[in-house]
Amino acid sequence: MVTDMGEKSLQKKKFILETARDVFREKGYKKVTMKDIVDKCEISRGGLYLYFDSTKELFEEVLRMETEETDDVFTGAISKEATCTDILLLFFKEQKRELLRKKKTLTVAIYEFFFENKVPKKENHIRNQFEIGVKIMEQLITDGVENGEFYCEDVEGMARNIMFVIEGMKITSQTMGLSEEMIDYEFGFIVQGLVIEE
Amino acid sequence: MVTDMGEKSLQKKKFILETARDVFREKGYKKVTMKDIVDKCEISRGGLYLYFDSTKELFEEVLRMETEETDDVFTGAISKEATCTDILLLFFKEQKRELLRKKKTLTVAIYEFFFENKVPKKENHIRNQFEIGVKIMEQLITDGVENGEFYCEDVEGMARNIMFVIEGMKITSQTMGLSEEMIDYEFGFIVQGLVIEE
Amino acid sequence: MVTDMGEKSLQKKKFILETARDVFREKGYKKVTMKDIVDKCEISRGGLYLYFDSTKELFEEVLRMETEETDDVFTGAISKEATCTDILLLFFKEQKRELLRKKKTLTVAIYEFFFENKVPKKENHIRNQFEIGVKIMEQLITDGVENGEFYCEDVEGMARNIMFVIEGMKITSQTMGLSEEMIDYEFGFIVQGLVIEE
Amino acid sequence: MVTDMGEKSLQKKKFILETARDVFREKGYKKVTMKDIVDKCEISRGGLYLYFDSTKELFEEVLRMETEETDDVFTGAISKEATCTDILLLFFKEQKRELLRKKKTLTVAIYEFFFENKVPKKENHIRNQFEIGVKIMEQLITDGVENGEFYCEDVEGMARNIMFVIEGMKITSQTMGLSEEMIDYEFGFIVQGLVIEE
DNA sequence: CATGAATGAGAGTTCATTCAT
DNA sequence: GATGAATGAACTCTCATTCAT
C-alpha cells in the first residue's frame, strides 16, 4: 500500500496494527470488518485505506509484527543459565500461560486466516512457528540427553510429538475449553516420559 | 422451528441437512449463507426458513446427525477379534485416512463453529468426540497392558496424549498441511513408545 | 441475471427498463448510478439487483429494447404510397424531429456508452443503426434514380454521405446546439443535390 | 484560482496543463479524477488545488491551450502556393490523419465535456472550431469556383455539409470505428462532387 | 508555495429475513 | 406448506476537498 512513509505515518501505521491486533484477538479473523478497525482506531473510513487495503492485508502485517516480537521469547528462555529440565519446565509454563489467556490471543484469528488462505510454505506463519518450536525442542532434548538429564531414543519424534500436543491443546482450549489441571497433567505426562528421576 | 411434522416433512428436513452438510464440508461454517443452502437444495428461500431459522441452527443439527452416525465407527473397530496392537494400528489407519481427506471433512466447519459458539459441555460435540476417544483409548491401552502387548505407566495420560496429538494433527492438516510421511512418522513414534517388541 | 421469470417479474423488469431509459435520457450514461435507478423506480436497493447487476447491463438492455421499437419507424415510412422525394422529405422530417428533441433522447447516453465499451461489430448498436440507415437510403436513392426523380452517380457514396451528415448533426446538436434553420438548410442542401427539378 | 503568478508558477501551470491534456486524451473527460492528474504530474494533492479547483476548470484551460495552438495548423496550410484542389486534398489528408489517431486525441474528452457543460456560444470550443472550419472551407470553395477548379452552386451549404460529414466521421471513429478505406471513400465522394475534371 | 495525511459523503454490492400469494 | 420477490441493514471502497505543518 503506502510505500514511502515519514516518521509520523510509520507511527500511525504501527498504532493501527496494534489496534487491529486487539480487534483480531477479540473477534477472530473472519468476523472483523474494516469498519471495526476504523471504529476502534477512531479514524475515518478513508484514513484506514491509506494504510491498508483489506482486513487480509492488515492481518498479514499483524502476523508479521507478532512473529518479530515473539521470536525473542523462545530464544530468551534458552540463553539463561539453567538445567535443561528447568528450561523445559519454563517453556511449558510459558505455553500454559498462553493457553489460559484464551480470549486475548490471536490463536483463533490465525486458524481462521489459514483455513481460507493458502499461504506458500516459506511465509506460512503457523508452519514457521511450528518448525521453530520443533527445532528448539530438538536442541533442548539433545542437550538434555547429552548431560544425562533426559532419556529419549527418538529426539526428532519426541520434539514433533510435543509440538503436536501443544497444537492440539491450543485448538482444544479454543473449542471445548481446557482447564489448568488438564494442562498441568498433560505437560506432567510429557516430563515424566522424558526426565530421568534420581 | 417446525414442531409437528409429517413423514414427508421429516424426509425433506433430512434431505436439507444432508445437502447442508456437503456445503459445510466445502465451505466451512462461517462462509456459508442461507442462499448457499437454498441453491444447493434447489428449494425456495422461504421454504428453507420453514425448517431452519439460521445457518447456526442448521449446523447444530448437522452436527447432531453426524454424531449419531459416527459413533458406530469407533465401537465397530474394537468389537472384532484382534490383538490390541492390531486395533491400535487400525485406529491410526482410520485417523490417517481422515486426516488426508482434508477438503471433504467437516473439520474446518466444526472448528469455526466452536470458535464463536460457546456450547454447554454436555452438548459440545468436540468435547464429546474427544472424551469418547480418550475412553476408548484408555480401554485399549489397559487391555494391551494386561495382556502384555503394551508398556504404559500412566494409561489416562497416554490416552489423552494420543488424542491431543491427533487433535494437533487435525488442525495442522487444515492450516499448514500435513504429508502422509509426517502422519506415519508421528503414529509410528507413538506405537514405538507403547508396544513392547519381542 | 434473472433467467426464469414469471409474468409479473417480466412486467417489473420492463418497468425498470423504461424508467431506466428515462434516467439515461436525462443524465446520459456515465453519470447514472444504480441509486438513481432505484430512486426513480421507487424500489429497494436489493430489489434492483434482482434484475440487473450494473448500469452497464441495464443500458445494454435498454438499447436492445429501443432497437426493437425503432426498427418499425424506418420501415413504416417506406411502405406507404409516395414518391421517393416524399419519402426522403419524410425521413428528413423525422430526423429533424429527433434532432430537436435533444434532452429526451438517448443519443448522449449511447455515445458515452460506446466511448468506453468496445462492442463486437455485430452487437454494436450504433454501427447497426448506421448500416441500416445506409441500406435504406441506398434503396431509396436507387428507386429515385430509376424513376427519374433523383440524379446520382454514386449511390452508395451518397447514402453514406447523408448518414455521416446526420451523425454529424446528431453530435452537433448535443454539443454546440443546432437550430431548426440550420437543420432545414442542411437537409435542403442535400435535397437540392439529389432531386431533379422540373 | 491563482491570480498573481510569478514566472515559475506559470511554468508549473503550463506543465500541469500539458500533463492533464495527456490524461484527458487517454481517459476522456468524465473518468479523469484529480488524483489521476496528481499522479501523472507527480505533485501533491494540495499542490494541484493551488492551481485548479476541479477537473472542469482544468479541462477548460486545456481546451483554451489547444485552441491557441491548433489555429495555425489550418491557416498555415492555406498560405502556401498551391491549387485549391491541392489545399482541399491536403486538408482532407490532415483530417484523415486525425481521424485515425483515435486514442491520442482529445475528441472523446471534448464530446464528454460538452455533453454536460452548457457553454456560452462565444466560448464554445466545438462551435468555434466548427465555424472556423466552415469559414475556411467557404473561402477555399469560393476561390476554387472563381478560378474554375470547382463547381458549386451553394458554397455555404457545401462548406457546412463537409464540416458535418467530418463531425460525423469523428464521432463514428470513436464509437463504431472507421477504416481508412471508409475515410478515403467518403472524402473521395466529396471531391468528386466538387472538382471539375478535365 | 507545497505537502500529503485525513475526512466523510456516496456509490456498489450482498444477504438474512419477511410476506403476500 | 411452499414460493420467490422485495426489503433494508451493513460492508467495501473511492475521491474531492481540506488543513496543519
Rg (CA), chain C: 20
pLDDT, position B186: 97
Q: What percent of chain B has pLDDT over 90?
A: 76
Name the minimum distance, in Å, from the CA of D94 to any CA of chain C.
Answer: 18
Distance from CA of C38 to the nearest CA of D (A): 22
Predicted confidence (pLDDT) per residue in B124-157, tens digit: 989 999 999 999 999 999 999 999 999 999 999 9
CA distances from A1 to A4, A59, A81, D34, D35 (A): 9, 14, 45, 19, 16
pLDDT number for residue D81: 72
pLDDT for C18: 95
Residue C53's pLDDT is 94
- Region A109-117: what's the mean pLDDT? 93
pLDDT tens over chain C, length 198 residues: 555 566 667 889 999 999 999 999 999 999 999 999 999 999 999 999 999 999 999 999 999 998 887 655 555 555 567 899 999 999 999 999 999 987 789 999 999 999 988 888 888 989 999 999 999 999 999 999 999 999 999 999 999 999 999 999 999 999 999 999 999 999 999 999 999 876
What contacts 24+ positions apart, CB below 8 Å, involve C127-131? C127/D175, C127/D176, C127/D177, C128/C67, C129/C67, C130/C163, C130/C167, C130/D172, C130/D176
| Mutate: best of B95, B115, B129, partner A, most A CBs <10 A | B115
Task: Give how far Cα D115 sits from Cα of B189, C29, C173, C181, D111, Å.
Answer: 78, 11, 10, 22, 6
- Predicted confidence band of residue A91 (pLDDT cuts 50, 70, 90): very high
- Whole-number Å distance between alpha carbons of C102 and C108: 9
Per-residue pLDDT, A2: 53
Average pLDDT over residues A36-53: 95
Residue B74 has pLDDT above 90, yes or no: no
User: Does the structure show a pLDDT above 70 at B78?
Assistant: no
pLDDT < 50 positions in chain D: 73
Q: Which nucleotides of F are covered by protein (CB under 7 A)?
A: 1-20
Q: Is C195 helix (H, G, I), strand (E, B) or coil?
A: strand
What would the pLDDT profile of B93-112 be if each residue is shown by its tens digit? 999 999 999 778 999 999 99
The mean pLDDT value for A162-174 works out to 96
SS3 state at C6: coil
Inter-residue contact D131 to C172 (CB < 8 Å): no
Domains D1-65 and D77-198 belong to one CATH topology: yes
Average pLDDT of A15-44? Answer: 95
Nearest to A171 among B30, B161, B171 (CB): B171
With a cut of 70, say whether residue B72 has pLDDT above it: no
Verify whether the Cβ–Cβ distance D165 to C164 is below 8 Å: yes
Q: Which of A152-156, B86-90, C65-69 has the lowest mean pLDDT?
A: C65-69
Across chain A, what does the average pLDDT equal? 90
- Give residue limits of the domains in chain A: 1-65, 77-198
Query: Is the C-beta of residue A43 closer than 7 Å to nucleic acid chain E?
Result: yes
Sorting pLDDT into bands at 50, 70 and 90, what band is B75?
A: low
| A169/chain B closest Cα distance in angstroms | 6
How far is D198 from D195, CA to CA, in rounded Å?
Answer: 9
Kindly state which CATH superfamily the domain A1-65 is placed in: Tetracycline Repressor, domain 2 (1.10.357.10)
Q: Is the CB of B172 less than 8 angstroms away from the CB of A167?
A: yes
Closest residue by Cα to the C1' atom of nucleotide E7?
A: A44
Distance CA A139, CA C14 (A): 74
Q: Under CATH, domain D77-198 is a member of which superfamily? A: Tetracycline Repressor, domain 2 (1.10.357.10)
For C150, the 3-state DSSP assignment is strand
User: What is the share, in percent, of chain B residues with pLDDT greater than 70?
Assistant: 90
Count other Cβ atoms within 10 Å, centred on residue B165. Answer: 23
Instruction: Give the integer Cα–Cα distance in Å for B1 and A195.
Output: 56
Chain A residues whose C-beta sits inside 8 Å of any chain B C-beta: 28, 30-31, 108, 110-112, 114-116, 121, 124, 126-127, 130, 153-154, 157-158, 160-161, 163-172, 174-177, 182, 185-186, 188-190, 192-193
DSSP B60-106: HHHHHHHHHHHHHHHHHHHHSS--HHHHHHHHHHHHHHHHHHGGGSS
Span A68-97, average pLDDT: 78
Q: Where are the alpha helices (DSSP H) in B80-196?
A: 84-101, 107-116, 125-146, 155-175, 180-194
Query: Cβ contacts (< 8 Å) between D96 and chain C: which residues?
Result: none
Distance in angstroms (rounded) separating the CA atoms of residues B36 and B41: 8
Please indicate whether, in this complex, the C-beta atoms of B115 and A111 are within 8 angstroms of each other.
yes
Which nucleotides of chain E does any protein CB come within 7 A of? Answer: 1-20
Q: C12 vs chain D: nearest CA distance in angstroms?
A: 31
Distance CA D2, CA D14 (A): 13
